Amino acid sequence: MTKTLATLILSSLLAASAFAAESDKDTKEDVARHRAIAAAHENAAKCREAGKGEDLCVKELQAACKGLAIGKYCGMKHEH
């Protein structure tokens, strides 16, 4: 019985460790995506500050966000 219990505990620890490693990888990828989206939005704001037209800035935003976020506005749209 003790050997079986030890095996179960070890298996549980290994599974938890594998899950934690995968979660850490997923978290790092998620953080990187958020930073890339934030950088694209910051560049869109700078584009508008520079006096460039909304259409041009939206096109640049869309190009920068391709594959990062959902939708035409890089996962974020606000009221105008």
Q: What is the pLDDT of residue 56?
A: 96
CA angle 26, 62, 76 (to 5 degrees): 65
Q: Percentage of the chain with pLDDT > 70?
A: 70
The tens place of each residue's pLDDT in the chain, 80 residues long, gives 577 766 766 666 566 555 556 688 889 998 999 999 999 999 999 999 999 999 999 999 999 988 888 888 887 665 55
Q: Give the other-Cβ count within 10 Å of 35's Cβ.
A: 10
**Which pLDDT value is given to residue 46?**
97
pLDDT for 75: 77
Q: What is the pTM of this model?
A: 0.65
